[in-house]
Structure 1
Amino acid sequence: MTALYIDADACPVKSEAERVATRHRVKMYIVSNGGLRPSQNPLVETVIVPDGPDVADMWIADRCGTGDVVVTGDIPLAAKCIEAGALVLKHNGEALTSANIGNVLASRDLMTDLRAADPFRQGGGKSFGKADRSRFLDGLERALRKAATLA
C-alpha cells in the first residue's frame, strides 16, 4: 500500500500534499520535531520525533520503500529513500531519481564547500512561488499514480 511521507520541517507544500493524498486515498505521514498543528484528516498522521540532528530524516528513511512517495528538500535523505525504492520529490515538484541523485548530491556538496570557503557567499536562493507550487502538484500527482503501480 502506497504511503506519502512529508519531511515537514520548512516544507511549504504540506496542505497541497494533503489534498492530493486525500484524493488518492493515500496514508500521509507529516514528520517533524514539533510545532505543527495536527490535521483532522483521518488519512494524515502527524509524527513528532524527538529533537536531534536528522531524527525526522531517519524516521522516514527507516520506513519508506518501494511504492511510497517522499517529499523532501533534504538531499541526503532523498538519496536514502531512492535507495530504499521510494519515489522522491522536492518541494518544487522536481523528481529526484537514481539517475540524477548523484549529480544533485555533488552540487550540494560543492555549494557547501563554496559557502564554507567564503562566508559572504550565503545566498538564500530564489523565493518559492506559484509556479513552484503548481509544478509540485503536477509532480505529486504523477508520482502517486506511478507509485500505485509499484506497490
Structure 2
Amino acid sequence: MTQFFVDADACPVKDEIYRVAARYGLAVFVVSNAWIRTPPDPRISAVVVDAGPDVADDWIAERAGPGDVVITADIPLADRVLKAGADALHPTGRRWTPDNIGGALAGRTIAEHLRGIGEITGGPRPFTAADRSQFLQALDAAVVRARRR
C-alpha cells in the first residue's frame, strides 16, 4: 500500500498532499522537528522527531520503500529514498530519479563550497502557483506508478 512521507518543516504543498491522499485513501506521515497542525484524519500522522541535523530525514529514510512517495526538497534525502526503492518528488513537482539525482547532488556540493568561501549563491526561486499545479500533476502520476507495481 502506497504511503506518503512528507519532509514537512518547509514543505509548501502539505494541503495538496492531504487532498490527494484523501482521494486515494492513502496514509500520510508528516515528519518534522516541531509540531505541525494536520487535518483530523486517521490516515494522517504528525511525527515529531528530535531536533538535530537529518533526524527527520533519517526517520523517513528508515521507513520509505518500494511503492511509497517521499515529498522533499532535500537532495540527500531524495537520494537515500530512491536507493530504498521509493519515489521522490520535489515540492515543485520535479521528480527525483536515479538519472538526475547525481547531478543534483554535485550541484548541491558546489553551491555549499561556494557559500563556504563567501560567495552569494542566491537560494531557491519563489514558489509559484504553476509550481503547485505541477506538483499536483506529479503526485497523481506518482500514485499511478506506485499502483502499477
Structure 1 length as normaliser, TM-score?
A: 0.95
The match for 1:125 is 124
Structure 2 length as normaliser, TM-score?
A: 0.96
Q: CA RMSD for the aligned pairs?
A: 1.0
Residue pair 1:18, 1:28 contacting (<8 A) in 2 also? yes
The match for 1:149 is 148
Which is further off, 57-66 or 104-113? 104-113
Cα separation, partners in 2 of 1:99 and 1:122, compared to 1, 3 Å: closer
1:28 match: secondary structure: strand
Separation of aligned partners in 2, 1:92 and 1:122: 20
Offset of 1:149 from its aligned partner? 1.7
Offset of 1:122 from its aligned partner? 4.2
Offset of 1:107 from its aligned partner? 0.8
1:45 match: secondary structure: strand
Give the partner amino acid of 1:123. G
Separation of aligned partners in 1, 2:69 and 2:126: 24
Q: String of CA shifts for 1:90-117, please: whole Å, max 9, x gaps.
A: 0100000111111110111111111212
Identity %: 46
Map residues 36-55 of structure 1 onto 2, 5 A cutoff: 36-55=36-55
Separation of aligned partners in 2, 1:47 and 1:115: 32
Structure 2: segments with no counterpart, 5+ residues: none
Structure 1: segments with no counterpart, 5+ residues: none
